[in-house]
Chain A
Amino acid sequence: MRVSARGLAHWFAGTGTLFAGLDADFDAGDLVAVTGPSGSGKSTLLSLLARWEKPKEGSVTWEGIRSVGWVFQNPHGTARRTALDHVALPLVAKGLSRAAANNQAESVLARFGLDAVAGRRFGALSGGEGQRLMLARAVAKAPSLLLVDEPTAQLDPAAAATVNTAIGELAMDRAIVVVATHDPDTRDACPRTIDLRVHAVEHAGGGG
């Protein structure tokens, strides 16, 4: 299982070149932070790795990647359904019995410190709980590649800390995890960092 980026460069109409000449390999169990100032192309790099966007130059190749999970800066779900439902329903829809799905969902929630709020409606969760629920749901799907975009951007330091702890433990799932962030604590939770400032092209005028 591997994602390889070779000679990656990207820009949009109206932006300069965001980054260029980016080479990187990601293997099972890798937990990599992508850092850089706002507008430097962190989210864009994630979408290139997910192959949702085609790079202007260079290539992204996948080996053995079956599924991709995303976690965004805001938790998104169904306001009136419980945290447990959010994790269990995809499992039920895939064919697990309700009891088996609930069991599995409960153990994933427990891992992210959410056992106490399993029965709470999504709309009533705090920002940190919502974000950890998104991580739990993504992990329950067991994706090969998990892309996490600014998971702590909307959180206060205490909530961010619980999320960063959860991120630090993602490596044990043996997936490839790439986290875009400008939170130094999130970056420090990841053993490896790609700093887009290193790959920025000097004359580039990245907007905000």
Chain B
Amino acid sequence: MIRWREILREAWRDTACGTSRALLALGLFAVGVGALGWAQAAGVVGVAKDAARWVEVGAAVRIIDFPNLVDGAQCEALTSLDGVVAAGAVRSGNERRLAAMPSRSFETFEVTPAMAEVLNLRTPEVAEGLGVWLASDLAEALAAKPGRTMTVRALHVPATVAGVFDFPADDGRNPALAYSLIEPVAATGVFDACWITAWPERLETDVLARLVANPAPIDESGQRPIPQVGQLNASLGISFDAHGRLARLPTSSLIAAAGLFGLVLGIGLIRLRRLELASALHAGVPKSALGIQTAAETLTWVIAASVLLIPVLWFASTNDNPDSPWPAMFPATQTVAIAGIAVLLGTIGATLATREKHLFRLFKNR
């Protein structure tokens, strides 16, 4: 009968003395499968980064533009919808001059308090009527800091800089708010537009968002205009389909490639040892014992390589990833696991396919 312990001891000796080329195999596996696993993680992280960029540049902000017909309270109430992160109303106000820069007149926008969330206001002190909000670039130009007071002409009262928000005018967004004074006002009455941060994207958001507009009077062509839905920043496209993007990643192709790679590696390494294995068979080592031995040898370095790959793939899944690492880590580890199983199957298959006769052919054909 086959002695398990002796066979496993043999496997270990082969590994230790280098007969099974464990180090070479470990290196090939780590590099080949590591690259495939890295590609898996990078694909998912790429989608997460694009999604974060989408939100950052304001592409997720939908704007219902319907001058004088947007109900401020209803607009703010949209936040109760799934997929609406924040919503606030905007209308244009009077032009103002600042004591600090009397030569230039500034457009003013009156906004409902919830616009603080839409604009991601820093240090929001949204007590109405008590101050103005400024885009950070403008605040810098005016040397204005949150909490400081500056005099707004025409109001003839000092106004506090109540908040600053990032609104880079050069990332493709509509820059109107970048050079304006934003004054929070009560969310009552009518506004010109409703800004909605819609994320993640839902088809019904745009439909429901139109309900914040009061019906328009019939125009000269006898039609009743309906509100249009636009984007704060349309430069990245009109829609971000995260599910579609994830579904279109080459996840299964990479897994198939890993399986193929593992199979070829497993078979190839045994083929390199074919003479030695055929010789052992010929000397009387049972094929089952040989199969267990080569499988154990393979398992040793496959496990070692996988353990080495875990921190590498963890790095790929966490580095520069604005989201949770798990959706990236999962296909990456799956790829390694499939490759490992394939190597094992290749090893066992190729060992069982080794025949004593190969020895004879090799010598006869030399």
Contacts and interface: CB of A to CB of B under 8 A. Distances in A.
Nearest to B18: A80
A94 interface: yes
Contacts of A140: 283
Interface in A104-127: none
A92 B279 contact: no
B326 interface: no
B283 A90 contact: yes
B237 to A, nearest CB: 61
B21 to A, nearest CB: 11
B284 A72 contact: no
Contact of B359 (A43, A72, A73, A81): A72
A125 to B, nearest CB: 14
B141 interface: no
B2 A90 contact: no
B363 A89 contact: no
Given A47-B360, A72-B359, A76-B359, A93 B2 contact: yes
The size class of the interface chain A forms with chain B is: 20 to 34
A60 to B, nearest CB: 16
A86 B3 CA distance: 17
A98 B6 CA distance: 8
Contacts, number: 69
B291 to A, nearest CB: 12
Given A76-B279, A78-B276, A80-B17, A52 B284 contact: no
Given A86-B283, A90-B280, A94-B286, A78 B19 contact: yes
A74 interface: yes
A130 to B, nearest CB: 12
B275 A76 contact: yes
B257 interface: no
B350 to A, nearest CB: 17
B246 interface: no
Interface in A64-83: 69-70, 72-74, 76-81
A86 B13 CA distance: 13
B19 A90 contact: no
Nearest to B279: A76
A137 B283 contact: yes
B357 interface: yes
Contact of B363 (A72, A78, A91, A98): A72
A131 B12 CA distance: 27
In this complex, the member of B1, B2, B363 whose beta carbon has the largest number of chain A beta carbons within 10 angstroms is: B363
A90 B284 contact: yes
B289 interface: yes
A70 B290 CA distance: 19
B10 interface: yes
Interface string B326-353: 0000000000000000000000000000
A76 B17 CA distance: 18
Contact of A95 (B2, B17, B360): B2
Nearest to B290: A93
B295 to A, nearest CB: 15
A92 B359 contact: no
A51 to B, nearest CB: 11
Contacts of A93: 2-3, 6-7, 284-286, 289-290
Contacts of B360: 47, 50, 52, 70
A30 interface: no
A149 interface: yes
A69 B7 CA distance: 23
A91 B3 CA distance: 11
Contacts of B2: 93, 95
B49 interface: no
Nearest to A86: B283
B271 interface: no
Interface in B283-316: 283-286, 289-290
B363 A73 contact: yes
A192 interface: no
Contacts of B10: 89, 92
A141 interface: yes
Contacts of B357: 52
A189 B290 CA distance: 36
Contacts of A91: 284
A95 B363 contact: no
A80 B19 contact: yes
A22 B150 CA distance: 119
A90 B285 contact: yes
Contacts of A79: 19
User: Closest 6 interchain pairs by CB?
Assistant: A90-B284, A93-B285, A90-B283, A80-B17, A72-B363, A93-B289
Given A77-B276, A93-B286, 11 more contacts: A43-B364, A52-B360, A70-B359, A78-B279, A81-B13, A81-B17, A90-B283, A93-B2, A94-B284, A137-B283, A141-B283
14 contacts: A69-B282, A74-B366, A77-B276, A78-B19, A89-B10, A92-B3, A92-B10, A93-B2, A93-B3, A93-B6, A93-B7, A94-B286, A98-B6, A138-B283
